[in-house]
């Protein structure tokens, strides 16, 4: 890797190094995305939570114990539903 060649890792602060290692892919899914009902997404799931902080973070309510204040525990609204997807309650849709 070119970063290793120039030893760029030494130029990073510990916080930058940690952020780089964590990556930018959300990892807060309750199960593997794409294993749920076809055509459904996290955005249409009853378990999705819109958490208002400095900005809005989408979280899976089933993964509440692992929530962070950042992207590491996020889900994406357009991610294909996982096997634990649940339909929003009929009363919410009907009102
Ligand atoms: S589909 Fe629902 S249960 Fe699955 S990760 Fe997304 S919000 Fe959580």
Output the DSSP codes for 7-70: TGGGGS-HHHHHHHHH-SS----SS-TTSS-TT-BGGG-TTEEEEESSSEEEEEGGGGGG--SS
Residue 45 alpha carbon, nearest atom of ligand 1: 2
Q: Output the pLDDT for position 1.
A: 56
Residue 84 alpha carbon, nearest atom of ligand 1: 3
The pLDDT tens digits of the residues spanning 28-65 come to: 999 999 999 999 999 999 999 999 888 889 999 999 99
The model carries a pTM of 0.72
């Amino acid at each position: 890797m070119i970063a290793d060649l120039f030893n760029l890792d030494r130029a990073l602060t510990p916080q930058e190094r940690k952020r780089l290692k964590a990556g930018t892919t959300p990892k807060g899914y309750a199960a593997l995305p794409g294993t749920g009902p076809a055509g459904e997404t996290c955005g249409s799931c009853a378990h999705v939570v819109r958490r208002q902080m400095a900005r809005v973070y989408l979280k899976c309510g089933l993964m509440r114990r692992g929530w962070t204040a950042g992207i590491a525990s996020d889900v994406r609204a357009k991610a294909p539903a996982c096997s634990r997807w649940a339909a929003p309650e009929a009363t919410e849709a009907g009102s």
